[in-house]
Amino acid sequence: VSSPVRAIINVDVEGPVINRHVYGHFAEHLGRCIYGGFYVGPDSDIPNEGGIRLDVVDALRALKIPNLRWPGGCFADEYHWMDGIGPKEDRPAMVNTHWGNVEENNHFGTHEFMALCEMLGAEAYVNGNVGSGTVREMADWVEYLTRDGDSPMVRLRKQNGRDKPWTVKFWGIGNEAWGCGGNMSAQHYAEEARRYATYCRDHGDNTLYRIAAGANSGDYVWTETLMKALNELGGCGRDPRGIYQAISVHYYTIPGTWADKGNATEFDEDDYYTTMVRAAHTDELLRRHSTVMDNYDPGKKVGLVLDEWGTWWNVEPGTNPGFLYQQNTMRDALVASLHFDIFHRHADRLVMANIAQTVNVLQAMILTDPDTGALVLTPTYHVFEMNAGHQDAASLRVDTLGDLPAREVGGDQLETVSVSASRKDGQVLISLSNLDAADATEVDVDLRGSSVGTVRARILTAETLAAHNTSDSPENVTPCDYSDVQVTETGVRVPMPAHSFVTVSVGVD
Protein backbone atom coordinates (compact mmCIF):
# COMPACT_ATOMS: atom_id res chain seq x y z
CA VAL A 1 0.00 0.00 0.00
CA SER A 2 1.50 3.36 -0.97
CA SER A 3 1.23 6.21 1.55
CA PRO A 4 -2.18 7.92 1.71
CA VAL A 5 -2.90 10.80 -0.60
CA ARG A 6 -4.48 13.90 0.87
CA ALA A 7 -6.94 15.68 -1.42
CA ILE A 8 -8.66 18.97 -0.62
CA ILE A 9 -11.92 20.10 -2.15
CA ASN A 10 -13.57 23.42 -1.34
CA VAL A 11 -17.14 22.44 -2.05
CA ASP A 12 -18.38 26.06 -1.91
CA VAL A 13 -15.95 27.28 -4.59
CA GLU A 14 -17.56 26.22 -7.84
CA GLY A 15 -15.58 26.16 -11.06
CA PRO A 16 -16.91 26.12 -14.63
CA VAL A 17 -19.80 23.80 -15.40
CA ILE A 18 -18.87 20.42 -16.88
CA ASN A 19 -20.77 20.43 -20.13
CA ARG A 20 -22.86 17.26 -20.27
CA HIS A 21 -21.80 16.91 -23.89
CA VAL A 22 -18.32 15.75 -22.82
CA TYR A 23 -20.14 12.46 -22.14
CA GLY A 24 -21.12 12.32 -25.83
CA HIS A 25 -21.05 9.31 -28.14
CA PHE A 26 -20.21 8.40 -31.70
CA ALA A 27 -21.89 5.90 -34.03
CA GLU A 28 -20.42 5.44 -37.48
CA HIS A 29 -21.42 3.23 -40.39
CA LEU A 30 -18.46 1.05 -39.55
CA GLY A 31 -18.37 -2.68 -38.93
CA ARG A 32 -21.22 -3.70 -36.65
CA CYS A 33 -21.84 -0.36 -34.94
CA ILE A 34 -24.99 0.55 -36.87
CA TYR A 35 -25.91 -2.66 -38.69
CA GLY A 36 -25.99 -5.54 -36.22
CA GLY A 37 -25.39 -3.15 -33.33
CA PHE A 38 -27.94 -0.37 -33.03
CA TYR A 39 -29.97 -1.51 -36.01
CA VAL A 40 -31.11 -5.06 -36.69
CA GLY A 41 -33.94 -4.23 -39.11
CA PRO A 42 -37.68 -4.46 -38.48
CA ASP A 43 -37.84 -8.16 -39.42
CA SER A 44 -35.30 -9.28 -36.80
CA ASP A 45 -36.27 -11.71 -34.00
CA ILE A 46 -34.47 -9.38 -31.64
CA PRO A 47 -37.05 -7.03 -30.08
CA ASN A 48 -36.85 -3.73 -31.95
CA GLU A 49 -38.74 -0.62 -32.84
CA GLY A 50 -38.47 0.28 -36.50
CA GLY A 51 -35.36 -1.93 -36.64
CA ILE A 52 -33.63 -0.28 -33.66
CA ARG A 53 -32.64 -2.77 -30.93
CA LEU A 54 -34.61 -2.07 -27.78
CA ASP A 55 -32.16 -3.67 -25.33
CA VAL A 56 -29.32 -1.52 -26.69
CA VAL A 57 -31.42 1.60 -26.25
CA ASP A 58 -32.47 0.55 -22.74
CA ALA A 59 -28.90 -0.07 -21.65
CA LEU A 60 -27.72 3.25 -23.07
CA ARG A 61 -30.51 5.23 -21.44
CA ALA A 62 -28.83 4.56 -18.07
CA LEU A 63 -25.81 6.51 -19.35
CA LYS A 64 -27.92 9.61 -20.09
CA ILE A 65 -26.19 9.97 -23.46
CA PRO A 66 -26.30 13.71 -24.17
CA ASN A 67 -25.51 13.57 -27.89
CA LEU A 68 -24.79 11.06 -30.61
CA ARG A 69 -22.46 11.84 -33.52
CA TRP A 70 -23.32 10.23 -36.86
CA PRO A 71 -22.77 9.01 -39.66
CA GLY A 72 -18.93 9.22 -39.34
CA GLY A 73 -15.95 9.56 -39.04
CA CYS A 74 -14.42 8.84 -42.38
CA PHE A 75 -17.76 7.50 -43.60
CA ALA A 76 -19.29 10.98 -43.27
CA ASP A 77 -17.20 12.30 -46.15
CA GLU A 78 -18.50 9.72 -48.58
CA TYR A 79 -22.08 9.64 -47.35
CA HIS A 80 -24.80 11.13 -49.53
CA TRP A 81 -27.77 11.63 -47.29
CA MET A 82 -30.38 11.62 -50.05
CA ASP A 83 -29.54 7.93 -50.64
CA GLY A 84 -30.75 7.21 -47.11
CA ILE A 85 -34.30 8.57 -47.23
CA GLY A 86 -37.57 7.32 -48.74
CA PRO A 87 -38.79 3.71 -49.07
CA LYS A 88 -35.98 1.35 -48.10
CA GLU A 89 -36.34 -0.82 -51.21
CA ASP A 90 -35.70 2.23 -53.40
CA ARG A 91 -32.60 3.42 -51.58
CA PRO A 92 -29.46 3.04 -53.69
CA ALA A 93 -26.62 1.00 -52.22
CA MET A 94 -23.00 2.11 -52.06
CA VAL A 95 -19.62 0.66 -51.11
CA ASN A 96 -18.25 1.62 -47.72
CA THR A 97 -14.71 2.03 -49.01
CA HIS A 98 -13.20 3.05 -45.67
CA TRP A 99 -14.55 0.28 -43.56
CA GLY A 100 -14.26 -3.25 -44.89
CA ASN A 101 -15.23 -2.46 -48.49
CA VAL A 102 -18.69 -3.80 -47.74
CA GLU A 103 -21.95 -2.83 -49.37
CA GLU A 104 -24.02 -0.27 -47.50
CA ASN A 105 -27.73 -0.57 -48.31
CA ASN A 106 -28.64 2.77 -46.78
CA HIS A 107 -31.47 1.26 -44.75
CA PHE A 108 -30.33 3.24 -41.75
CA GLY A 109 -30.58 6.88 -42.81
CA THR A 110 -31.68 10.27 -41.55
CA HIS A 111 -35.13 9.24 -40.27
CA GLU A 112 -33.77 6.14 -38.53
CA PHE A 113 -30.97 8.15 -36.91
CA MET A 114 -33.34 10.81 -35.64
CA ALA A 115 -35.67 8.08 -34.29
CA LEU A 116 -32.70 6.53 -32.49
CA CYS A 117 -31.79 9.89 -30.91
CA GLU A 118 -35.37 10.35 -29.77
CA MET A 119 -35.40 6.86 -28.22
CA LEU A 120 -32.10 7.54 -26.44
CA GLY A 121 -33.13 11.02 -25.32
CA ALA A 122 -29.91 12.27 -26.95
CA GLU A 123 -29.30 15.33 -29.10
CA ALA A 124 -28.27 14.67 -32.68
CA TYR A 125 -24.79 15.60 -33.86
CA VAL A 126 -24.87 15.25 -37.63
CA ASN A 127 -21.55 15.24 -39.45
CA GLY A 128 -21.84 16.62 -42.99
CA ASN A 129 -19.86 15.63 -46.06
CA VAL A 130 -17.18 18.08 -47.23
CA GLY A 131 -14.75 15.58 -48.78
CA SER A 132 -16.96 14.23 -51.58
CA GLY A 133 -20.10 16.30 -51.15
CA THR A 134 -21.24 19.74 -52.17
CA VAL A 135 -22.24 22.87 -50.35
CA ARG A 136 -25.73 22.49 -51.78
CA GLU A 137 -26.04 18.91 -50.54
CA MET A 138 -25.12 19.97 -47.04
CA ALA A 139 -27.38 23.04 -47.08
CA ASP A 140 -30.28 20.88 -48.28
CA TRP A 141 -29.72 18.39 -45.47
CA VAL A 142 -29.93 21.17 -42.88
CA GLU A 143 -33.12 22.44 -44.53
CA TYR A 144 -34.59 18.91 -44.69
CA LEU A 145 -33.95 18.30 -41.01
CA THR A 146 -34.72 21.64 -39.42
CA ARG A 147 -37.00 23.84 -41.53
CA ASP A 148 -40.70 24.27 -40.80
CA GLY A 149 -43.45 25.54 -43.11
CA ASP A 150 -43.07 24.91 -46.78
CA SER A 151 -39.97 24.60 -48.97
CA PRO A 152 -38.58 22.03 -51.42
CA MET A 153 -36.78 20.06 -48.68
CA VAL A 154 -39.69 20.37 -46.28
CA ARG A 155 -42.02 18.90 -48.92
CA LEU A 156 -39.60 16.03 -49.44
CA ARG A 157 -39.43 15.35 -45.70
CA LYS A 158 -43.20 15.39 -45.42
CA GLN A 159 -43.45 13.01 -48.36
CA ASN A 160 -41.22 10.67 -46.34
CA GLY A 161 -43.58 10.75 -43.38
CA ARG A 162 -42.20 13.44 -41.09
CA ASP A 163 -44.26 16.55 -40.79
CA LYS A 164 -42.50 18.60 -38.16
CA PRO A 165 -38.84 19.53 -38.34
CA TRP A 166 -36.42 18.01 -35.89
CA THR A 167 -34.14 20.03 -33.65
CA VAL A 168 -30.53 19.56 -34.67
CA LYS A 169 -28.00 21.79 -33.04
CA PHE A 170 -24.63 20.10 -33.53
CA TRP A 171 -23.36 20.12 -37.09
CA GLY A 172 -19.96 18.84 -38.20
CA ILE A 173 -18.34 20.50 -41.23
CA GLY A 174 -16.57 17.41 -42.56
CA ASN A 175 -14.28 15.04 -40.65
CA GLU A 176 -10.50 14.66 -40.50
CA ALA A 177 -10.08 16.95 -43.51
CA TRP A 178 -6.30 16.43 -43.14
CA GLY A 179 -6.79 12.73 -43.98
CA CYS A 180 -9.79 10.61 -44.98
CA GLY A 181 -11.91 13.75 -45.26
CA GLY A 182 -10.09 15.03 -48.34
CA ASN A 183 -6.34 15.20 -47.60
CA MET A 184 -6.51 18.98 -47.45
CA SER A 185 -4.02 21.47 -46.11
CA ALA A 186 -5.10 23.44 -43.05
CA GLN A 187 -5.42 26.64 -45.06
CA HIS A 188 -7.48 25.04 -47.78
CA TYR A 189 -9.80 23.38 -45.28
CA ALA A 190 -10.22 26.61 -43.29
CA GLU A 191 -11.55 28.28 -46.42
CA GLU A 192 -13.80 25.32 -47.21
CA ALA A 193 -15.11 25.32 -43.64
CA ARG A 194 -16.02 29.01 -43.93
CA ARG A 195 -17.76 28.40 -47.26
CA TYR A 196 -19.74 25.35 -46.13
CA ALA A 197 -20.63 26.89 -42.79
CA THR A 198 -21.99 29.98 -44.53
CA TYR A 199 -24.72 27.95 -46.20
CA CYS A 200 -25.60 25.83 -43.18
CA ARG A 201 -28.43 28.15 -42.23
CA ASP A 202 -30.35 28.58 -39.01
CA HIS A 203 -33.93 27.79 -39.99
CA GLY A 204 -36.59 29.24 -37.71
CA ASP A 205 -35.48 28.86 -34.13
CA ASN A 206 -33.08 26.00 -34.88
CA THR A 207 -29.70 27.55 -34.13
CA LEU A 208 -26.81 25.47 -35.41
CA TYR A 209 -23.60 24.93 -33.50
CA ARG A 210 -21.17 24.35 -36.37
CA ILE A 211 -18.08 22.32 -35.58
CA ALA A 212 -15.11 22.68 -37.92
CA ALA A 213 -13.10 19.50 -38.51
CA GLY A 214 -10.04 19.86 -36.36
CA ALA A 215 -6.56 18.65 -35.79
CA ASN A 216 -5.01 15.25 -35.71
CA SER A 217 -3.89 15.06 -32.06
CA GLY A 218 -0.93 17.47 -31.59
CA ASP A 219 -1.27 19.44 -34.84
CA TYR A 220 -1.53 22.85 -33.17
CA VAL A 221 -0.92 24.64 -36.48
CA TRP A 222 -4.22 23.23 -37.72
CA THR A 223 -6.08 24.73 -34.76
CA GLU A 224 -4.25 28.02 -35.18
CA THR A 225 -5.16 28.16 -38.88
CA LEU A 226 -8.84 27.63 -38.09
CA MET A 227 -8.77 30.26 -35.35
CA LYS A 228 -7.07 32.75 -37.68
CA ALA A 229 -9.65 32.04 -40.36
CA LEU A 230 -12.41 32.87 -37.88
CA ASN A 231 -10.66 35.98 -36.67
CA GLU A 232 -10.25 37.37 -40.18
CA LEU A 233 -14.04 37.49 -40.36
CA GLY A 234 -14.33 39.41 -37.14
CA GLY A 235 -14.01 42.90 -38.66
CA CYS A 236 -16.74 45.51 -39.22
CA GLY A 237 -18.68 44.45 -36.14
CA ARG A 238 -19.33 40.95 -37.45
CA ASP A 239 -19.47 38.18 -34.93
CA PRO A 240 -16.76 35.76 -36.01
CA ARG A 241 -18.60 33.01 -34.19
CA GLY A 242 -21.32 33.25 -36.82
CA ILE A 243 -19.33 30.99 -39.14
CA TYR A 244 -18.30 28.06 -37.00
CA GLN A 245 -18.73 27.94 -33.28
CA ALA A 246 -16.29 25.18 -32.37
CA ILE A 247 -13.21 23.32 -33.54
CA SER A 248 -12.65 19.64 -33.03
CA VAL A 249 -9.59 17.49 -32.37
CA HIS A 250 -9.16 13.71 -32.51
CA TYR A 251 -6.88 11.70 -30.29
CA TYR A 252 -6.75 7.94 -29.75
CA THR A 253 -4.91 6.05 -27.01
CA ILE A 254 -2.60 3.60 -28.79
CA PRO A 255 0.32 2.17 -26.84
CA GLY A 256 1.88 0.50 -29.91
CA THR A 257 2.22 1.74 -33.47
CA TRP A 258 -0.54 2.14 -36.06
CA ALA A 259 0.68 -1.09 -37.65
CA ASP A 260 0.64 -3.02 -34.36
CA LYS A 261 -1.43 -1.19 -31.81
CA GLY A 262 -1.37 -3.88 -29.14
CA ASN A 263 -3.78 -6.55 -28.05
CA ALA A 264 -6.98 -5.67 -26.18
CA THR A 265 -6.84 -8.52 -23.69
CA GLU A 266 -3.27 -9.85 -23.73
CA PHE A 267 -0.80 -7.34 -22.38
CA ASP A 268 1.83 -7.03 -19.68
CA GLU A 269 2.44 -4.33 -17.08
CA ASP A 270 4.70 -2.35 -19.41
CA ASP A 271 1.99 -2.28 -22.07
CA TYR A 272 -0.49 -1.23 -19.41
CA TYR A 273 1.58 1.67 -18.11
CA THR A 274 2.41 2.83 -21.63
CA THR A 275 -1.33 2.87 -22.31
CA MET A 276 -1.96 5.03 -19.28
CA VAL A 277 0.82 7.46 -20.22
CA ARG A 278 -0.69 7.81 -23.69
CA ALA A 279 -4.14 8.35 -22.17
CA ALA A 280 -2.78 10.96 -19.75
CA HIS A 281 -1.32 12.81 -22.77
CA THR A 282 -4.88 14.01 -23.49
CA ASP A 283 -4.35 16.60 -20.76
CA GLU A 284 -1.39 18.17 -22.55
CA LEU A 285 -3.24 18.10 -25.86
CA LEU A 286 -6.30 19.87 -24.51
CA ARG A 287 -4.14 22.40 -22.69
CA ARG A 288 -2.06 23.25 -25.73
CA HIS A 289 -4.99 23.45 -28.16
CA SER A 290 -6.75 25.68 -25.60
CA THR A 291 -3.69 27.90 -25.32
CA VAL A 292 -3.63 28.38 -29.09
CA MET A 293 -7.34 29.24 -28.99
CA ASP A 294 -6.86 31.63 -26.03
CA ASN A 295 -4.57 33.74 -28.19
CA TYR A 296 -7.40 34.52 -30.60
CA ASP A 297 -10.34 34.08 -28.28
CA PRO A 298 -9.46 34.94 -24.68
CA GLY A 299 -13.16 35.03 -23.79
CA LYS A 300 -13.39 31.32 -24.64
CA LYS A 301 -16.39 31.73 -26.90
CA VAL A 302 -15.21 29.19 -29.45
CA GLY A 303 -15.61 25.64 -28.18
CA LEU A 304 -13.08 22.82 -28.29
CA VAL A 305 -14.62 19.45 -29.17
CA LEU A 306 -12.76 16.14 -28.77
CA ASP A 307 -15.18 14.25 -30.98
CA GLU A 308 -13.13 11.08 -31.26
CA TRP A 309 -11.24 9.56 -28.34
CA GLY A 310 -10.61 6.18 -26.77
CA THR A 311 -8.44 3.09 -27.07
CA TRP A 312 -7.65 1.56 -30.44
CA TRP A 313 -6.33 -2.03 -30.32
CA ASN A 314 -5.61 -4.65 -32.96
CA VAL A 315 -8.95 -6.20 -33.95
CA GLU A 316 -10.07 -9.41 -32.25
CA PRO A 317 -8.54 -12.42 -34.02
CA GLY A 318 -10.76 -13.79 -36.77
CA THR A 319 -12.77 -10.60 -37.23
CA ASN A 320 -12.78 -8.33 -40.30
CA PRO A 321 -9.81 -5.92 -39.94
CA GLY A 322 -11.98 -3.16 -41.41
CA PHE A 323 -14.61 -3.56 -38.69
CA LEU A 324 -12.46 -2.41 -35.73
CA TYR A 325 -14.07 -4.84 -33.31
CA GLN A 326 -12.15 -5.08 -30.02
CA GLN A 327 -12.66 -6.40 -26.50
CA ASN A 328 -12.72 -4.03 -23.55
CA THR A 329 -11.06 -4.67 -20.18
CA MET A 330 -10.51 -3.06 -16.81
CA ARG A 331 -7.61 -1.25 -18.50
CA ASP A 332 -10.06 0.42 -20.89
CA ALA A 333 -12.22 1.42 -17.93
CA LEU A 334 -9.25 3.24 -16.37
CA VAL A 335 -8.45 4.94 -19.68
CA ALA A 336 -12.03 6.25 -19.63
CA SER A 337 -12.00 7.36 -15.98
CA LEU A 338 -8.69 9.18 -16.51
CA HIS A 339 -10.09 10.95 -19.57
CA PHE A 340 -13.10 12.15 -17.62
CA ASP A 341 -10.91 13.63 -14.87
CA ILE A 342 -9.03 15.49 -17.60
CA PHE A 343 -12.26 16.64 -19.26
CA HIS A 344 -13.55 17.96 -15.94
CA ARG A 345 -10.37 19.97 -15.49
CA HIS A 346 -10.78 21.53 -18.94
CA ALA A 347 -14.42 22.47 -18.41
CA ASP A 348 -13.68 26.10 -19.31
CA ARG A 349 -12.95 25.31 -23.00
CA LEU A 350 -13.97 21.72 -23.69
CA VAL A 351 -17.62 21.76 -24.70
CA MET A 352 -17.98 18.25 -26.06
CA ALA A 353 -16.23 14.90 -26.34
CA ASN A 354 -17.37 11.73 -28.08
CA ILE A 355 -15.99 8.31 -27.35
CA ALA A 356 -15.30 6.14 -30.38
CA GLN A 357 -17.63 4.27 -30.64
CA THR A 358 -20.80 3.27 -28.82
CA VAL A 359 -21.46 -0.31 -30.01
CA ASN A 360 -19.10 -3.03 -31.35
CA VAL A 361 -16.40 -0.63 -32.58
CA LEU A 362 -13.20 0.48 -30.78
CA GLN A 363 -13.76 1.39 -27.10
CA ALA A 364 -17.41 0.40 -27.06
CA MET A 365 -20.02 0.51 -24.29
CA ILE A 366 -21.82 -2.51 -25.67
CA LEU A 367 -20.69 -5.60 -27.56
CA THR A 368 -23.23 -7.78 -29.34
CA ASP A 369 -22.65 -11.34 -30.49
CA PRO A 370 -23.09 -11.60 -34.28
CA ASP A 371 -24.46 -15.16 -34.00
CA THR A 372 -26.59 -15.21 -30.87
CA GLY A 373 -27.33 -11.50 -30.61
CA ALA A 374 -26.34 -11.59 -26.89
CA LEU A 375 -25.52 -8.18 -25.46
CA VAL A 376 -22.62 -7.49 -23.11
CA LEU A 377 -21.91 -4.29 -21.19
CA THR A 378 -18.22 -3.43 -21.14
CA PRO A 379 -16.15 -2.06 -18.23
CA THR A 380 -16.12 1.29 -20.08
CA TYR A 381 -19.93 1.33 -20.01
CA HIS A 382 -19.79 1.16 -16.22
CA VAL A 383 -17.47 4.15 -15.96
CA PHE A 384 -19.88 6.24 -18.03
CA GLU A 385 -22.76 5.13 -15.83
CA MET A 386 -20.92 5.75 -12.55
CA ASN A 387 -19.83 9.21 -13.72
CA ALA A 388 -23.18 10.34 -15.17
CA GLY A 389 -23.75 12.65 -12.19
CA HIS A 390 -20.96 14.95 -13.40
CA GLN A 391 -23.02 15.98 -16.42
CA ASP A 392 -23.86 19.69 -16.17
CA ALA A 393 -22.47 19.87 -12.63
CA ALA A 394 -20.14 22.65 -11.44
CA SER A 395 -16.56 21.42 -11.50
CA LEU A 396 -14.72 21.52 -8.18
CA ARG A 397 -10.98 21.95 -8.03
CA VAL A 398 -9.10 19.14 -6.32
CA ASP A 399 -5.77 20.03 -4.71
CA THR A 400 -3.48 17.34 -3.44
CA LEU A 401 -0.88 17.79 -0.72
CA GLY A 402 2.64 16.59 -1.46
CA ASP A 403 3.63 14.46 -4.39
CA LEU A 404 1.19 11.98 -5.80
CA PRO A 405 2.36 8.37 -6.10
CA ALA A 406 3.95 7.96 -9.51
CA ARG A 407 5.59 5.41 -11.79
CA GLU A 408 8.42 6.06 -14.18
CA VAL A 409 7.32 4.84 -17.59
CA GLY A 410 9.88 5.01 -20.41
CA GLY A 411 11.16 8.42 -19.29
CA ASP A 412 7.66 9.77 -18.46
CA GLN A 413 6.22 10.14 -14.99
CA LEU A 414 2.75 8.69 -14.60
CA GLU A 415 0.85 9.88 -11.52
CA THR A 416 -1.09 6.82 -10.46
CA VAL A 417 -3.84 8.55 -8.52
CA SER A 418 -6.33 10.73 -10.32
CA VAL A 419 -9.26 12.54 -8.73
CA SER A 420 -11.94 14.93 -9.97
CA ALA A 421 -15.10 16.29 -8.41
CA SER A 422 -18.23 18.26 -9.15
CA ARG A 423 -21.29 19.62 -7.40
CA LYS A 424 -24.92 19.53 -8.44
CA ASP A 425 -28.29 19.37 -6.68
CA GLY A 426 -26.86 19.22 -3.14
CA GLN A 427 -24.46 16.38 -4.00
CA VAL A 428 -20.72 16.35 -4.46
CA LEU A 429 -19.60 13.57 -6.77
CA ILE A 430 -15.95 12.52 -6.41
CA SER A 431 -14.34 10.19 -8.95
CA LEU A 432 -11.11 8.49 -7.97
CA SER A 433 -8.87 6.22 -10.01
CA ASN A 434 -5.96 4.19 -8.72
CA LEU A 435 -4.00 3.52 -11.88
CA ASP A 436 -1.35 1.44 -10.15
CA ALA A 437 -1.37 -2.08 -11.55
CA ALA A 438 -0.25 -3.72 -8.31
CA ASP A 439 -0.34 -1.39 -5.29
CA ALA A 440 -3.33 -0.33 -3.27
CA THR A 441 -3.48 3.19 -1.85
CA GLU A 442 -5.79 5.38 0.16
CA VAL A 443 -7.14 8.85 -0.52
CA ASP A 444 -8.14 11.11 2.36
CA VAL A 445 -10.50 13.71 0.99
CA ASP A 446 -10.97 16.93 2.97
CA LEU A 447 -14.31 18.42 2.08
CA ARG A 448 -14.18 22.04 3.11
CA GLY A 449 -17.05 24.51 3.13
CA SER A 450 -19.85 22.12 4.06
CA SER A 451 -20.83 19.43 6.48
CA VAL A 452 -20.81 15.87 5.18
CA GLY A 453 -24.24 14.32 4.73
CA THR A 454 -25.17 10.94 3.33
CA VAL A 455 -22.33 9.12 1.58
CA ARG A 456 -22.76 6.51 -1.13
CA ALA A 457 -19.72 4.87 -2.73
CA ARG A 458 -19.32 2.41 -5.58
CA ILE A 459 -16.31 0.60 -6.90
CA LEU A 460 -15.30 -0.92 -10.23
CA THR A 461 -12.33 -3.25 -10.15
CA ALA A 462 -11.34 -6.81 -11.01
CA GLU A 463 -8.80 -9.48 -10.19
CA THR A 464 -6.71 -8.55 -13.20
CA LEU A 465 -6.35 -5.57 -15.50
CA ALA A 466 -7.24 -7.79 -18.43
CA ALA A 467 -10.57 -8.85 -16.90
CA HIS A 468 -13.46 -8.31 -19.29
CA ASN A 469 -17.06 -9.27 -19.85
CA THR A 470 -18.33 -11.90 -22.27
CA SER A 471 -21.75 -13.39 -22.90
CA ASP A 472 -20.70 -16.36 -20.74
CA SER A 473 -19.43 -14.13 -17.92
CA PRO A 474 -21.20 -10.79 -18.38
CA GLU A 475 -20.43 -9.55 -14.88
CA ASN A 476 -16.72 -10.18 -14.53
CA VAL A 477 -16.24 -6.44 -14.31
CA THR A 478 -19.26 -4.75 -12.82
CA PRO A 479 -19.66 -2.02 -10.21
CA CYS A 480 -20.80 -2.71 -6.68
CA ASP A 481 -21.53 -0.70 -3.56
CA TYR A 482 -18.38 0.04 -1.63
CA SER A 483 -18.76 0.09 2.14
CA ASP A 484 -15.03 0.52 2.91
CA VAL A 485 -15.29 4.28 2.47
CA GLN A 486 -15.28 5.93 5.89
CA VAL A 487 -16.63 9.28 6.97
CA THR A 488 -13.92 11.19 8.83
CA GLU A 489 -13.99 14.43 10.82
CA THR A 490 -13.04 16.38 7.74
CA GLY A 491 -14.49 14.38 4.85
CA VAL A 492 -14.11 10.84 3.59
CA ARG A 493 -11.32 8.27 3.52
CA VAL A 494 -11.29 6.13 0.40
CA PRO A 495 -9.20 2.94 0.31
CA MET A 496 -8.30 2.25 -3.30
CA PRO A 497 -7.38 -1.31 -4.33
CA ALA A 498 -4.89 -1.66 -7.19
CA HIS A 499 -6.39 -0.77 -10.59
CA SER A 500 -9.71 0.45 -9.30
CA PHE A 501 -12.21 3.19 -10.00
CA VAL A 502 -14.39 4.54 -7.18
CA THR A 503 -17.15 7.13 -7.11
CA VAL A 504 -18.24 8.74 -3.86
CA SER A 505 -21.38 10.79 -3.72
CA VAL A 506 -21.69 13.05 -0.69
CA GLY A 507 -24.69 15.09 0.38
CA VAL A 508 -23.67 18.69 1.17
CA ASP A 509 -25.45 21.79 2.55
Q: How far is the CB of 467 from ligand AHR (least distance, A)?
A: 25
Of 74 and 394, the one with the shorter C-beta distance to ligand AHR is 74
Of 239 and 260, the one with the shorter C-beta distance to ligand AHR is 260
Of 368 and 433, the one with the shorter C-beta distance to ligand AHR is 368
- Name the burial class of residue 281, with classes exposed (0-12), middle (13-18) and buried (19+) by CB atoms within 10 angstroms of its CB: middle
Q: How far is the CB of 176 from ligand AHR (least distance, A)?
A: 5
Of 356 and 457, the one with the shorter C-beta distance to ligand AHR is 356
| Cβ–Cβ < 8 Å for 429, 437 | no
Q: How far is the CB of 362 from ligand AHR (least distance, A)?
A: 6
Q: CB under 8 Å to 332, separation ≥6 — which residues? A: 264, 310, 311, 363, 378, 379, 380
The most distant pair of C-alpha atoms in the chain lies apart, rounded to whole Å, by: 69
Catalytic residue status for 224: no
Catalytic residue among 176, 192, 385, 442: 176
Q: Which residue is nearest to ligand AHR (CB)?
A: 73
417/123 Cα distance (integer angstroms): 33
| DSSP-assigned states of every residue in 195-224 | HHHHHS--BTTB--EEEEEEEETT-HHHHH
Q: β-strand 394-401 against 417-424: which pairing, if any?
A: antiparallel
Of 112 and 308, the one with the shorter C-beta distance to ligand AHR is 308
| Cβ–Cβ < 8 Å for 18, 344 | yes
Of 292 and 356, the one with the shorter C-beta distance to ligand AHR is 356
CA triple 139-115-50, angle to 5 deg: 130
Catalytic residue status for 176: yes
> What residue ranges bind ligand AHR (CB under 6 A)?
28, 72-74, 175-176, 308, 356-357, 362
Q: Which region holds residue 155: left if phi is over 0, alpha if psi is between -120 and 50, else beta?
A: alpha
Q: How far is the CB of 252 from ligand AHR (least distance, A)?
A: 7
Residue type, 109: G
370/372 Cα distance (integer angstroms): 6
| Cβ–Cβ < 8 Å for 355, 363 | yes
Q: State whether residue 57 is helix, strand or coil.
A: helix
Catalytic residue among 104, 123, 308, 385: 308
| Residues labelled catalytic | 176, 308
